[in-house]
Structure formats: structure tokens, C-alpha cells
Amino acid sequence: MIAEFWYKIKTSPLSLLFVIGLLLSLGLGTLYSIAQVQLQAPPNAFSKQVIFLIPATILMIFMTLVSKRLVHKYVYLGYGFIVLAVFLPFFGQKVAGTYRWINLGLPFGLQPSEIAKWVIVITLARYLSDHNLQMNNFASNLVPFAIALIPTFIVLNQPDLGTAFVMMTPVIPMLFWVGARPYHLFLIVAPLFSILAASNVLAFSIWAAIMAIVLYMAKPQLWHGVAIYFGNIFLGLIFPLLWDTLRPFQQKRVLTLINPELDPLGAGYQIIQSKTALGSGGLFGKGWGQGTQTHLKFLPVQESDFIVSVIGEEFGFAMLFIMLVLFSWLIVKMIKLGLNASDRFSGLILIGISTIFLAHVFVNCAMSAGMIPVKGLPLPFVSYGGSFLLSSFMMIGLVLNFGREELD
Amino acid sequence: MLRSTNTVSKSKFWILSGFVIFIHIILAYRFFQLQVLDHDEYSRRAENNRIRATSIPAPRGLILDRHGEIIVDNYPTYIVSAIGSEIVNKEKNYKVISAATGIDTATLKKNYKNYYRNRFLPTRLAKDLTIGQLSRLEEAKDELTGIIYSQFPERIFNPKIRASHVLGYLKEIDQSMIDGMDENSDYQYGDLIGWSGLERQYESRLRGDKGVTYYQVDAFGREAGNVEGHGNILPNPGNDIHTTLDVSLQALLESEFKNKKGTAIVSNPRTGGILAYVSAPDYKPDLFTGLISNQDWKTVIADTNRPLLNRVTNGTYPPGSIYKMVVGVELLEKRLVTTDWSVFCTGAYEFYDRTFRCWDENGHGKINLEQAIVQSCDVYFYQAIQNVDINDLAVRSKQFLHGAQTYIDLPTEMKGRVPDRQFMNKLHGRYGWSKGAMLNLSIGQGEILVTPLQMAAYTNLLATRGKTYPLHLVQKQDIMINAPSIQIRTWALIQDYMELTITQSNGTGRRSNPKIPGLRIGGKTGTAENPHGEPHAWFIAYGEKDDDMISITIMIENGGSGGEVAAPMARKVFQHYYGPKSTKLVSK
């Protein structure tokens, strides 16, 4: 059995681990700088992260070795459990204004929504590979969306918009992978864009034009196309009116959901500080442990959400560029593995997981750079955070397992 | 399971990979924009974030007396201030400071309110902290936000004297003052500036140059060490000023003026240097040290005795009989009287339908100019003045510095008033006044108003026969006062009369004579009627012994008879200065 395991490990795409090792070192080096310069005695973020690596590695190996058949067989059951699990925090205590954590009496809390991300992916993968769906039919898209939507909706109420976003995104590329018409995917996301674009006249005009072009190219039945087009326009027009009927405190509640870290002083304090830290770092940074914005604590949540700003301040654009190259290589490699996978189930899992990583990288970096509102999403392998580290390593285990070339 | 084969076209791989690369390129470009293109802008912001520069006040120069004794000194006091914009929790700050220093929170709150200027300037919460209190505060540093403590050189005063009007005080600069200054001045809102007296007059000499200290602050406004590459600039202390004052003499006169209103000036007629300068009532000089609170200010302003008024330079009074030497000089110079010409004083003088009284109701009998000055007979002057033209008298008065600027080295002085024809016509109408006004004027009453400082300069002119310098406290001036061009004989006569006033048994100034061998004194008393009650008691005198000369000018507001009240005070000064018990050092 050992020999079999060893064979399994040996045939896994281990080059991924090298890149992950580099990213991990970058994260640990940064956490060490924070702990060292700010004289934080252990247990600090660095030491905790190192300790978390042990269970994370064990779980990763487990996920690498676990039988694909078993994963396939029990994933629906797992899905049922995870939906319950994301519900559980609502019965526990509120932590930092949210119901994200389960307290199991351990010295740390667990975030079931982290696990839920990839359980949803596997569930979708099974559903999409088991059923030979007629993807030309629009209705075929609905069940997969529902699979992702149920836990997403619960997570959205914790509230955790970032995680909810990450849970939903894999659906689209996975459907695309199994042959869904891009036009159908477009129809599903169109109402959301209509609402978002409605706040700005120029944005809404551009969006209306894009819709017109897409509809023209997709050549739907005439009355279909007209209904969809004007339905969306109507939604966009009616939304601001609906918004205005909300009382200010209700509007604020919704805005806080979209942007949970909304600064009560209204100054966008965190974004400003993060951009300042990044920008002052320059091309090569201020040097390890020399980041004034970081170490004088101008930078908020620097160990987790804003670790990119710390790296940018201390090591400069050069290091961030290298980091982005590593991430893009990692994600493209996963997609490549998905392309080469021998069966559809494996391929879909790889596509789904690569999307989760991409979503994290994009949201985290874009947030730190002030491109999107603040969403508390960590950067894979780099940010501090136990649950997410465990989850990331388990996903890598899955990638190693399902990315293996041989047939099971 | 796993039966569906993975039949995916390569184009899907390219589309997805392309999207991944596209996202990463967007992120990379955004980082490039922030970190490389806008680097300078963000570097500047980062510096502003973390570096706080606070100015270190320079210790002002000392103020010394003529013997080198310190009158105004500095001592380092520790103050705790709060910067409003950096405070996170005011109440918590108060609690922590109160626990560390033992000052109750109500006091801290009150001080914050009193001294608050704006959110970005340190507002003083407490001063005069001990090292113990300071170190306990240091320990609680992590719990405090926006709190700074600093050493502050505060003015401390020689306990022997007050001299508050001479020394003046400091005040914080407000915005309107800064607006009025030229652009090159480095005064900042909240700095202390000499506001009156010598502190103001010699501000540029005393002030020194501020230093700057740079330090890092963290996001919570707490100090986090020094800044590399930003060395502190040490303040440059101001220059000392050596005054002509004599602390012991000043102390003597101040004690004489306890519970009195009035002025006393002692000076050296040969140089113009002032040895003592009293304006009573005064205020405690440390009332205004450091930062004055509104409460203190209101109390002083509301005092009906007007302690803030510098009576020496800014109080104007009728001179009374001390003016008679001016009239005497005019009479002699214009040959309107001879030294023998006399008047019979019955105690009153009828002039048309009015009766003008001599101060002595019993009358002085037959009186010439000499005795008119010695005994201060008014009737003689009522008679003699009738041949004097008012404009001639005004010119003569101004030669003796009545109603003229003395150019003392203090920020302000009043000019007083010497009436001439034009003035009288304007005040009373062309025919609204008559010779009767001249009679009043002849004894220093009526429209004439002088400052005690002018009388001191006048005394110095008389003492030196016109060869004196402007009065000063620090800087002797190069140019002598324009001597009145009168004959030496006139000078000699006037000086004789003044000396007889002291030495004769019926001289009004006899009570000023300490009878020290070799000490020659000349003086004149004055008892100036005024509408505010008792007459003002005047006495002016000069004394000389072994070529060492001083002059004394005393005025006691509503004090009564000059000869009885003011002259004895002068005796104490002479006694102190020339007397055998005097521990006086050699004067400069």
C-alpha cells in the first residue's frame, strides 16, 4: 500500500508544489518581518502560520491519496453536510459582527465556508459529468447554478460577500467547459450587470450597447431577444427608483453588505493606507522590515487581507510582478491539467479549483490596489489565516490527485 | 463513475488561460501604475503619514539688572499637551493621565477647554509635572493617543521685585497677528511673543531661534522613535539683556508703594539710565507666564485700579507746582522779573471776579522768585504769569519735555498735553477763555497734562543743566536731548532755588533730605489738584555726591501733599543710595 501511495505521489504534477513553496516563503518572510519588527512575541501570525502548515500538509497528502472513486461516490453527501455546516455558525456566537466561525472547543475557530468552496466545485463536477446534459438548452444551466446558490445564499447572510463571490464564480467556467453556450451564461449574469451599471449613466449606456451587440450576434428568436433586452434595461431603470424607496438605514445595510469594512469616517481609510504603502514601495521596495506604513501600523489587517501592500512596500513592484507570474503560471497549469485530464469529472474539478484561486488572487490584489471595494479575501498561500491555509492545501491535494495522468 | 470522457477542445483551454493571463496583466499594470508611475506622490504621502515635526521653543534671553543680578530667568517645566486631531478617546486619555499624575480629570478637562486653539495644535492639559509624574505617564504611553509631553522654558522672576510694567509679559500669537506680520517671520500660531514692556521692546534680541524635533508616529498618533535622516534642530537661546535697573532700589520703592497708586522713577541724569521704575498697582509678573487662561485675563482686566496701566509712560496727570521751574525759567529768560522783584502773598489772589488761592491759606508774605519756588508760593506766579504769552510758555514747556516724547525703550508712551493758543481756542472757543486760564497754568494746573516719565526727563534736564540723554532701561542712546537754550545764570539760579527748597527750614522739600554729608540735593514738590479726589502728590529731585548723581520722580495718585507724602519717600531713596548702610556696588 505504501508503494501504491508512493507511486501516486510520484506521478502527481509535483511542479506545482515548487511554485507553491515559493509563494509560501514569500508569505512567511513577510509575516516574519511583521512579527520581528513589531516585536510581537509568539504566538504571532508567523508562528501560527508555521504551525498550521503541519495539519495543512497532512490534509494535502490525504487529499492527494484519497481514492477518486470515493470522492465521486460521497460528494453529494459531503455537499449536504457542508450546507448544514455553513448554517451552523448562526447558532454560535457572533465574531466581529459575522457568523462565519464554528467553535469546536479548539484554540482556533473553523470556517466551514472555506471547505464549502471546493465541495461545491466537486458537487458541480459530479453533476455535470454524470448527466449528459443538453447544454444547448438554457434550462440545463439552472440546476448547476442552484447547487452553488444554496450555500452561497447562506454565506451571503453571515455576511461574507467575498466568500459568496468565490463560491459562485466556478459555475461559469465549469459550465463553459462542458459546453454551455456563452450566450446563456451571459443571460444569467446580465441582470446583475444591469443593476450594477444602473448607478452611472455612461456605464449603463455602454452596457446597453454591449447587450445589443451580444444579442445581435447570438441571434435569438426575435421576441426572446427583445424581451431580454428590454427586461434588462427596465431592471436597470427601475433599480435606482427601488433603491430610493429604501430608508437610509436600509440602504446603509445593503451597502455594508457589499462593502463590509465601510469606514464610518467615510474616508476609505484602509484603501488610502494600502495604496500609500504600495505606492511608496516603488520599484524595488524599502527593504525587508523597512516598511514604515506597515510597521507603524498605518496599514490595517496587514497579515491577511492587505499582505500584498506589505510585500509591495518592502519588496516593491519587482516582487509583486514575480508573484503575479507565479500565480498565473499556477492557475494556467491547473487549467492545462484540466484539459489533459482523462475524464470529465477530474477536468471539471481542476477548472473549478483554478477559478477559486483566480477569484482570490484577483479580489485580494484588486482590493489592495484600490480597484474594488474592500472585501476580506485572503491571498492563497501568502496571507495569514488557518482555515484558508488548510482549505488551500486541500485544494492543492485535490489538484495533485485529479491532475494525475494515469487512469484510476 | 468517471465514465464520461474529457472531450474538451483546446480552444476552451486557450480562452480560459487567456482570461487568467488577462486578469494578471490588469493587476500587474495597476501595481505598476501605483508603484512606479505614481511612486513620488505616494512616497510623499507616506512621509506625511509618519513624520511629525514639532517646534522646540528656544529659551528666551535673560533680563539682568545693572549689577548682573537676574531679574527674569527661565526654568524648564514639563507640560502635557493633547493634539485634538490625534486623540482617539478623550475620556480614556483623561483617566490614564489622571491615574498617572494624580491630577483630577475635571482639571484636565477644564485646561483643555481653556487652552484649546485648534485641533492640530498641542493643547496644554497640565504643567509643572514632576519627574515622577512624567515617568508614570511614560509607562502608560501605549494607552494614550495624541498626547505629547514636552519641556517648556517658562519665565521665572526674581522674587525680590515685580517691575511688571517694565518687564512686560508674553502672549500667544493669534491668527490676526500672524496675518499682520511680514511673510519672512517664522512665528507660528500659538508661539509666545513679547507682548508688552521690555519683553516686547527687545523681542528680537530675547527670542532666539526655535528648534525642530522630528519623530515618527504610528497610525494612532503615538510616538515611535526618531526619524532616520531627520536630525533634530536644537533651539538657539535668545540673547540676554542687561538693564540699567537696580534690584535693591526697585524693591525699596515697590515696598513703599504697597497699597498706593502712583509712580516712581529713579534714573541717572548723566546717562538717562533708569535704576527704578515703579507703576503701582502692578500685577504679579508670573501671572502671564506661559499660556494665560481666559479666567486669569478677565480678573486682571476687571480690576478697577487698572493694574495693567503703565502709569509711568501712559498715565497723564497735571504736574502741579513742579511745573514752576518752567515758568521761572521763562520769567528769567524773557527778563519779565528780576530776582529781587517780589509779590505780597496774602493766601489768595483776586483776579477780576475770581479768587485764586495759594496752597497756604495764611499767605507767604513778601515773596521773590527764590522763595516762590522754595515755599512754592502760588500767588507770586499768579501775578508774574500775566506778562507771559501762552505760546511762549508752551514752547518753553516743550523744551523741558512737557508733552513731548521721551523716546524711552518701551513700546508705548503717551504724549500728554501742553496747551497753546490754538489749543485753547479750539477747546473753549476764541473768546471762551481768558488770562485766568494762564493763572491756573502758572502753577501746573488746568489744561496741562504730563506723564511721570516726562517729569523724570525734566528733572534730569534740570539736574544736568540740559546735558542729559533720553531715559532708557537697556540701550543708552547716542544723541543727547536737545538742551533748552537758556543762559547759564538761569540754570544756576533755578538749581539754587531747587536746592534751597530742600535745605531751607521752610522749604517744601525739606522732608526729602537725609542729611548725608557731601550730598547735594535739589528738588521741588507738587500737589496737583484733580477732579478725582485728593490731590496727586508730586516730588522731583536730584542728588549728587562724589560725582554720582541720581534723580527721583515720585507721583502718588490722590496721595495728598507732595511735600508731606512724596518727599519722605525720596529721602528713603537717597538714604538707600548714598547712605552709609548702603551695600550699593559701584554703578556703571
**At residue A313, does pLDDT exceed 60?**
yes
C-alpha cell read off for B241 = 539683556
Q: Do B4 and A369 lie within an 8 Å CB cutoff?
A: no
CA dist A185 and A170 (Å) reads: 12
Angle, vertex CA A52, rays to CA A66 and CA A273, nearest 5: 125
Residue B77 counted as domain residue: yes
Give the model's pLDDT for residue B292.
59
Residue A408 counted as domain residue: no
CA dist B277 and B473 (Å) reads: 9
Helices assigned H by DSSP within A100-247? 112-130, 142-156, 161-168, 171-177, 182-197, 201-218, 222-245
Q: DSSP class of residue B244?
A: S
Residue B228 counted as domain residue: no
Structural domain that includes position A337:
2-402
**pLDDT confidence band for A380 (50 / 70 / 90):** very high
Q: What residues in A contact B7, CB-CB < 8 Å?
A: 344
Domain of residue B112, CATH code: 3.90.1310.10
Q: Do A278 and B34 lie within an 8 Å CB cutoff?
A: yes
Residue carrying C-alpha cell 474529457: B6
Residue A134 counted as domain residue: yes
CA distance B42 to chain A (A): 5
Residue A324 one-letter amino acid: L
Angle, vertex CA A146, rays to CA A141 and CA A152, nearest 5: 130
Give the model's pLDDT for residue B1.
47
Q: Do A298 and B1 lie within an 8 Å CB cutoff?
A: no
The DSSP result for B340-362, as a single string, is S-EEEE-SEEEETTEEEE-SSTT
Q: Do A298 and B49 lie within an 8 Å CB cutoff?
A: yes
Residue in chain A closest to B39 (alpha carbons) equals A279
Give the model's pLDDT for residue B189.
67
C-alpha cell read off for B84 = 485634538
Identify the bridge partners of residue B83 per DSSP, sorted by sequence position. Answer: B122
CA dist A323 and A281 (Å) reads: 15
CB–CB contacts below 8 A, A to B: 157
Strands B63-64 and B241-242: parallel
**pLDDT confidence band for A23 (50 / 70 / 90):** very high
CA dist B187 and A342 (Å) reads: 80
**Does B479 lie at the interface with A, CB-CB under 8 angstroms?**
no
Q: Do B2 and A312 lie within an 8 Å CB cutoff?
A: no
C-alpha cell read off for B148 = 505629547
Q: Do B27 and A362 lie within an 8 Å CB cutoff?
A: yes
Give the model's pLDDT for residue A243.
75
Q: DSSP class of residue B33?
A: I
Residue carrying C-alpha cell 456566537: A93
Interface of B with A in 211-240 (CB under 8 A): 216-220, 224
Helices assigned H by DSSP within A12-95? 15-37, 45-65, 68-87
- Given a contact cutoff of 8 angstroms between Cβ atoms, the answer to whether A345 and A129 are in contact is yes
Structural domain that includes position B146:
73-153
CA dist B176 and B42 (Å) reads: 35
Residue A85 counted as domain residue: yes
C-alpha cell read off for B335 = 527778563
Decide: helix, strand or coil at residue B149.
strand
Give whole-number Cα distances, B10 to A177, A338, B13, in Å: 11, 11, 5
User: What's the total number of domains in chain A?
Assistant: 1
Q: Do B27 and A361 lie within an 8 Å CB cutoff?
A: yes
Residue B90 counted as domain residue: yes
**Does A267 lie at the interface with B, CB-CB under 8 angstroms?**
no
CA dist A276 and A299 (Å) reads: 9
CA dist A324 and A318 (Å) reads: 10
Of A249-263, A391-405, B6-20, which range is least confident?
Answer: A249-263
Of A396, A373, A376, nearest in space to A385 by CA: A376
Q: Do B2 and A276 lie within an 8 Å CB cutoff?
A: no
Residue in chain B closest to A291 (alpha carbons) equals B46
Q: Do B27 and A344 lie within an 8 Å CB cutoff?
A: no
User: What's the total number of domains in chain B?
Assistant: 1
Q: Measured in whole angstroms, how far is the alpha carbon of residue A218 from the centre of its chain?
A: 30
Residue B96 counted as domain residue: yes
**At residue A359, does pLDDT exceed 50?**
yes
Residue A192 counted as domain residue: yes
Beta strands in B227-368 (DSSP E): 241-242, 262-267, 274-280, 342-345, 348-351, 354-357, 365-368
Q: Do A297 and B39 lie within an 8 Å CB cutoff?
A: no
Residue in chain B closest to A269 (alpha carbons) equals B219
Burial call A301-315: b when 16+ CB within 10 Å, e when fewer: bbbbbbbbbbbbbbb
CA distance B30 to chain A (A): 7
Question: Cis peptide before A373, with omega less than 30 degrees from 0?
Answer: no
Q: Do A279 and B8 lie within an 8 Å CB cutoff?
A: no
What ipTM describes this predicted complex? 0.88
- Given a contact cutoff of 8 angstroms between Cβ atoms, the answer to whether B196 and B169 are in contact is yes
**Does B21 lie at the interface with A, CB-CB under 8 angstroms?**
yes
Q: What residues in B contact A273, CB-CB < 8 Å?
A: 49, 219
**At residue A36, does pLDDT exceed 80?**
no
Helices assigned H by DSSP within A282-306? 292-295
A304-313, A376-385, B176-185, B269-278: which has the highest mean pLDDT?
B269-278
Residue B125 counted as domain residue: yes
Give the model's pLDDT for residue B317.
95
Interface of B with A in 46-105 (CB under 8 A): 46, 49-50
Q: Do A344 and B49 lie within an 8 Å CB cutoff?
A: no
- Given a contact cutoff of 8 angstroms between Cβ atoms, the answer to whether A89 and A112 are in contact is yes
Residue A174 counted as domain residue: yes
Parts of chain B with a pLDDT under 50: 1, 582, 584, 586-588
Of A131, A284, A339, A364, which to mutate for an interface test with B (greatest number of B Cβ within 10 Å)? Answer: A339
Of B5, B6, B19, B49, which to mutate for an interface test with A (greatest number of A Cβ within 10 Å)? Answer: B6
Residue A407 counted as domain residue: no
**Does A270 lie at the interface with B, CB-CB under 8 angstroms?**
no
CA distance B227 to chain A (A): 10
Residue A167 counted as domain residue: yes
Q: What is the pLDDT of residues A186-225, one digit of tens each?
A: 888 888 778 777 767 787 888 888 888 888 887 777 788 8
Q: What is the mean pLDDT of chain A?
A: 82
Of A9-18, A394-403, B216-225, B493-502, which range is least confident?
Answer: B216-225
